[in-house]
Amino acid sequence: MQLDVIIESKKLLSQSIKPRPYYYDKLSLALATQQIVVIQWQRRVGKSSLALGYLQHIAIPSQQIFFLNKEVDVQNTIKNATDLQEVFQTYIQKFGEPTYLVIDEIQDIIDRERFIRAIYVMKKYHIIITGSNAHLLSGELATYLSGRYVSLEVYPLWYDEYLTFTQQEKNADTFNTYMQFGGMPELIHIQNPEGKRQYLTGIMNTIFVKDIVKRYAIKDVSYLEKVVAFLADIIGNESSLRNIYNSSKQYWWGEASSLVKLANYIQMLQIPYMVHKVPRYDIHGKRLLEHNEKYFFNDIGLRNIIKLNEDLDKGKLLENIVFLHLKVKGYKVYVGNYYGKEIDFIAQKDTTIIYIQVAWSIQQEKTQQREFDNLLQIKDNYPKYVISTDTTFWKSYYGIQTVHVIDFLTTFA
């Protein structure tokens, strides 16, 4: 039965995989170090496809690749390091010695570090492991891998990459579709909107069941669902844990709970990379603040599947998309605070710092005052941007650049 999993996994090796060249350079550099490459992030963002696509790109024959897709192991035949070692030896006997090992969703295998340790010390293989759990690199595995691995974060398709995958042009129609359904790679094969929603619902259910409910033995699933739905409604809003708790008591019809339980459940939603908590940064005091973070989703399509508020400000959806684009491009992202004025994003990469405000439209005077005046308060010389969907507006306002969101998503790096 274990070999059946390998045979089923190998089928993907013969398929043509759409390239994601943005990540290939990063993967090439990581493999060149002879260290273990750990590809992390949410389920179904294409972690194993990225690894296999890269190996296709550099023309590695499929017989040189040992690939295990744990998600096809529906009967859970490979449970621990011993099972994995046995199936690896069986693979060698049947197919020969591989050069590359790609093991997908390795967090589902108990004592995985024992197998990784045994393989790594041989210095015979290039090893790529993927996982959709933020605690993958913790415990004994982290202790063993210390100094022996390179980590690579893989996100859903960002808008420009989505256009390449679907061979479409950048315009309002494609952007609106992207804003509705997001960038999960497999969606490009589904044309029907209802089919897209069903696929996204399936991903959400998988994350809930496999990565949270089962892993942490959650009994109050209904409460967890309400927590994630509430976070979907407040994306882009500064919210302290206490404020969320106070709001939730009224929002959830006075359901009894505790602040500790709420904090634990929010943390659980971050572990499979479904939700991101973005801290606030005091620009003047140059320090992180402990309250009023913002929450964003790792894929806007998943957020839209679980939304409760149909009237959510579209500018908040734009914020979520801009946040993800900044993360894809390697920026550390914070919510800014300058003498009580909110700056949507401070983005930092190496020595580069930029300030960003996001609004659906900046045509109204009160919106202009809010978005531009907040940035004008900051007296340093780092670049400042206001991003919106407006097509007719000045390009610069006292040094602040105004950018259409589509242009930002297709040109900004």
Bridge partners (DSSP) of residue 294 are 278
* β-strand pairing of 400-404 with 396-397: antiparallel
DSSP state of 188: G
- In the CATH hierarchy, which top-level class contains the domain 217-310? mainly alpha
- Cβ(360)–Cβ(315) below 8 Å: yes
Task: For domain 313-413, give the CATH number.
Answer: 3.40.1350
The whole-number pLDDT of residue 241 equals 87
The whole-number pLDDT of residue 401 equals 92
Look at phi and psi of residue 317 and say left if phi exceeds 0, alpha if psi is from -120 to 50, else beta.
alpha
Alpha-carbon span 140 to 187, nearest angstrom: 36
- Cβ(10)–Cβ(49) below 8 Å: no
The whole-number pLDDT of residue 117 equals 87
Single-letter residue type at 276: H
| pLDDT tens readout for residues 140-190 | 666 777 778 888 999 999 999 999 999 999 999 999 999 999 999 999 999
The whole-number pLDDT of residue 258 equals 83
Bridge partners (DSSP) of residue 151 are 38
- In the CATH hierarchy, which top-level class contains the domain 2-153? alpha beta
The whole-number pLDDT of residue 367 equals 82
Tell me whether the CATH fold assigned to 2-153 matches the one assigned to 217-310. no
The whole-number pLDDT of residue 288 equals 86
Alpha-carbon span 106 to 74, nearest angstrom: 14
Q: Where are the domains of the chain?
A: 2-153, 217-310, 313-413
- Cβ(299)–Cβ(156) below 8 Å: yes
- Cβ(90)–Cβ(66) below 8 Å: no
Instruction: Give 248-285 as a DSSP string.
Output: HHHHTTT----HHHHHHHHHHHHTTTSEEEEEEEETTT
Alpha-carbon span 66 to 266, nearest angstrom: 37
The whole-number pLDDT of residue 254 equals 52
Counting as low any pLDDT under 50, the low residues of the chain are 253
Q: What is the CA radius of gyration of the chain?
A: 23
- Tokens describing residue 43: 């389920």
Alpha-carbon span 40 to 300, nearest angstrom: 19
3-state secondary structure of 31: helix
3-state secondary structure of 109: coil
The whole-number pLDDT of residue 97 equals 94
- Cβ(185)–Cβ(165) below 8 Å: yes
Alpha helices in 99-149 (DSSP H): 112-120, 139-145
Tell me how far CA of residue 305 lies from CA of 87, 118, 179, 308, 309, in angstroms. 38, 43, 12, 9, 11
The whole-number pLDDT of residue 6 equals 79
Bridge partners (DSSP) of residue 39 are 130, 152
- Cβ(83)–Cβ(91) below 8 Å: no
